[in-house]
A = this chain, B = another copy of it.
């Protein structure tokens, strides 16, 4: 790893009148280089524009949503910056799942700050996404950081919900596609939270959307799309747990069960327009 002063451009492509860029910087949170993508709409030439965060799911990098989700069209029309962080630290010396499994380690940072070694050395994705990257975005782009929204898919839906709920006042809007709504209650989440945070489940519930809605003072209306044909719904995603938690807490939730849709980007791209318009309305 070379220590980089500030961010460096990897690539830019003109897209819908704006610019899709990929950048790299040295993160002091993860102590690694981190790559991320930013779409800047044409309106940002004239004025600061709101920021739409999209957190990706297991196995993804910044690239999946950048090429598959069809966000640029909507971002250009609605006038918003899109930020796509990576899903974990990467590079030399970054620990991975001991068996190389896809659901832990590389590509699976779960948006928490690990306390357990060897992961604690680099897996500080909560601080990276909540503190360090926003500071960089605010400094380097024509972003109106008083108007931010957050969204994500699967593990990234978990990230969007938990980061949104844990930072009242930060976001105008929160939404998710097929999120892991309760990592304390599913195999993916139990493995990740145990591995990164250790055995004390009091730490785990700090990163469980169902637990967090129970104590949220700011009751931002949540929008969630979930496909009924999603192979992970029953065992991992369990959206009904969030419905129950929101009902109990009096937290407003729109959960749309989308008939026949699966867990893929074909599902995400279909409903991305609705999500981005939902966020634009909140801005």
Contacts and interface: CB of A to CB of B under 8 A. Distances in A.
A163 to B, nearest CB: 27
Nearest to A68: B67
Contact of A266 (B13, B266, B269): B13
A72 interface: yes
Interface stretch (A52-60, A98-106, A168-176, A257-265): A257-265
Given A67-B68, A68-B67, A70-B73, A14 B229 contact: yes
Interface string A108-122: 000000000000000
Interface in A255-281: 260-262, 264-267, 269-270
A271 to B, nearest CB: 9
A15 B70 contact: no
Chain A interface residue number, banded:
20 to 34
A265 to B, nearest CB: 7
A16 interface: yes
Interface string A5-28: 000000001111100100000000
Contact of A260 (B14, B229, B260): B14
A262 B13 CA distance: 7
A72 B69 CA distance: 12
A17 B260 CA distance: 9
A260 B261 CA distance: 37
B15 A270 contact: yes
Query: What is the copy number of this chain in the assembly?
Result: 2
Nearest to A259: B14
A15 B72 contact: no
Contacts of A73: 70, 269-270
Interface in A228-275: 229, 260-262, 264-267, 269-270
Contacts of A67: 67-68, 265
A65 B270 CA distance: 16
Interface in A12-55: 13-17, 20
Interface of A: 13-17, 20, 67-68, 70, 72-73, 227, 229, 260-262, 264-267, 269-270
Given A68-B68, A70-B73, 20 more contacts: A13-B262, A13-B264, A13-B267, A14-B227, A14-B260, A14-B261, A14-B267, A14-B270, A15-B269, A15-B270, A16-B269, A17-B270, A20-B266, A67-B67, A67-B265, A70-B70, A70-B269, A72-B270, A73-B269, A73-B270
